[in-house]
Structure 1
Amino acid sequence: MGRFKHHIAKWNGLSHEGKLIFLKAAVSLVLIKTGLAILPFGTFRKIFHWLCKSEHTGEISQERIDQTVWAVDTASHMLPLELLCLPRALATKYLLRKVPALTLEIGIEVNPAKQFEAHAWVEKNGFVIMGNWPESVLYQRIWVWK
């Protein structure tokens, strides 16, 4: 019950804009997870690319970026779905689609002792904003989705 109260307190402390960002994050995650589950990846990718097109780009405050990343991360833990790195990265990319220099990266772990492992993350100007990993792990980029 303590964790539930913590989430309610956090929700109550959010501004109207913060609540809207959180709700958009939750809806985006559900729609992205559904799209990945039912559509061939090529079709999903085309639709996602079309949805992310934006005539207007511009800087969004770092506070808004941080709030969006928090909302995606928090919603992904609260929803009754398994939302791993790809849906989280896609939701972040979609919600921040107007931010220039934002890329969705996909890589594979460079470790011959382990089985194949992929990871998705989002970068802004070369810095990871969603999907950080421990320094002991090294990922080799295999795809950049701008």
Structure 2
Amino acid sequence: MLKLVAKFKQLKSCDRYLLIAAFMLLGAVRLGLWLMPFRLLFRFLMQISSPNVSNKTPNTDSHKLDSSPLSALEGSPKTMHQSYRVARIIWSINMASRCLPGNTKCLARALATQVLMNWHRYVSELHIGVNKTPEGTFRAHAWIEYQGRVIVGNLQDLTQFTPLLAYRGSEQ
């Protein structure tokens, strides 16, 4: 535990803020999925992440550019900076998922990511799909796409899922 605290203290302040926000948001989403009907939780999350809500996320313009999981999206300096910031959002969700007790499902991860992307004014798409395995088992999966690429919840073959919901986040 002390090693985790030491590593946390070594992070840049904007990364600490982002990690805390992801941790709290992911925990709240998991609790909400357990306590509330999905429709009500989804409406609430999209309302609090709308551009009209005051956004107090830190400015990360001071970050040096780094290699990221979205390196294929990089190009101009502005695009490179956006790729870096989106990569940090993904990183914060992944870290928070590992630190929370229990198993964080794809739906909670996708919903929390969508909220963080909206807070940072990146337009992403939340997808929820279902399928039935040859054994007759019902499966569902949720994932996030940004600029046409899956950034959270990537599976080998997402085309096997019949879409139930595709929600495009808002900008500004």
Question: Could you tell me the percent identity over the aligned residues?
Answer: 29
Taking structure 1 as the reference length, the TM-score comes to 0.82
Q: Which amino acid aligns with 2:141?
A: H
- Bigger shift: 126-135 or 64-73? 126-135
Kindly indicate whether the alpha-carbon contact (under 8 Å) linking 2:129 and 2:162 is maintained by their aligned counterparts in 1: yes
Q: Distance in 2 between matches of 1:78 and 1:68?
A: 15
Which residues in structure 2 correspond to 1:1-146 (within 5 Å)?
5=3, 7-8=4-5, 10-55=7-52, 61-97=82-118, 98-100=121-123, 102-109=124-131, 111-113=133-135, 115-135=137-157, 138-146=160-168
- Bigger shift: 70-79 or 105-114? 105-114
Kindly indicate whether the alpha-carbon contact (under 8 Å) linking 1:110 and 1:140 is maintained by their aligned counterparts in 2: no
Kindly indicate whether the alpha-carbon contact (under 8 Å) linking 1:110 and 1:138 is maintained by their aligned counterparts in 2: no
Unmatched 5+ residue regions in structure 1?
A: none
Q: Which amino acid aligns with 1:84?
A: K
Q: Which amino acid aligns with 1:30?
A: G
Q: Distance in 1 between matches of 2:132 and 2:149?
A: 20
1:13 CA drift (Å): 4.0
Q: Distance in 2 between matches of 1:90 and 1:137?
A: 20
Q: Distance in 2 between matches of 1:91 and 1:9?
A: 25
Taking structure 2 as the reference length, the TM-score comes to 0.70
Change beyond 3 A, Cα 1:104–1:71:
same
Is the partner of 2:145 in helix, strand or coil? Answer: strand
1:104 CA drift (Å): 0.5
1:144 CA drift (Å): 0.4
1:90 CA drift (Å): 0.6
